[in-house]
Amino acid sequence: MAEYLLYMWQVEDIMRACNLDIDIIERNVIAQYQVDDDTRAQMRDWWESLIKMMELENVKESGHLQINKNVIIRLTDLHLQLVKNDKYPAYGADYYRTLPFIVELRAKHGNVEDAAGELETCFNALYGMLLLKLQGKEVSKETETAMAQISHFLGLLSAYYVKYEADELELD
């Protein structure tokens, strides 16, 4: 789920960079794929539907689609259940190893929200790191350490989410 969410945030940014213009997206994104005409048409339909959602949800310039917000909501619900559950002490321990990095990031950005804000802070940090790497910018060792822990934590949460979706977790 973590990778999916980061991918979808990138898709949102790509659409914005293309001014939510399907023809620009087709030339610069869809055309890069070596696929048959039916697949290309399906891809265009997918991008067009996302553009319409961005327009309807008024996130043309910033923000995230509700479908992406829902991912964070579902992950937050699971996160809170795992932290409270004595059956998953390794998860709780990993969360508490990550928490100082979350607190520091939130303090730097004036973001002192609830638990949902904590996960979103983690995703924002990883997405920011992705953008820095794409731009070829250097990051400090401290930032790399923080991102490694946050990445591990979100990876663990994502793995639990897969188990949760497969009804393989005991959360009662």
Domain ranges of the chain: 2-56, 69-165
Confirm if 101 and 150 have CB atoms less than 8 A apart: yes
Report pLDDT for 112: 54
**pTM for this one?**
0.84
**Tokens standing for 28?**
């610069």
In this structure, are residues 30 and 47 in contact, taking their beta carbons and an 8 Å threshold?
A: yes
Quote the CA–CA distance of 101 and 71 in Å, as a whole number: 22
| Percent of the chain that is helix, strand, coil (3-state, to 5) | 75, 0, 25
What was the pLDDT predicted at 110?
A: 64
Task: Give per-residue pLDDT as tens, 105-149.
Answer: 888 766 555 444 889 999 999 998 988 888 889 888 988 999 999
- Residue 115 has a pLDDT of 47
What confidence score (pLDDT) does residue 114 get?
A: 47
Indicate the average pLDDT of the chain: 91
E strand segments, 13-170: none
User: Above 50 in pLDDT, residue 76?
Assistant: yes
pLDDT digits (tens, 9 = 90+) for 12-50: 999 999 999 999 999 999 999 999 999 999 999 999 999
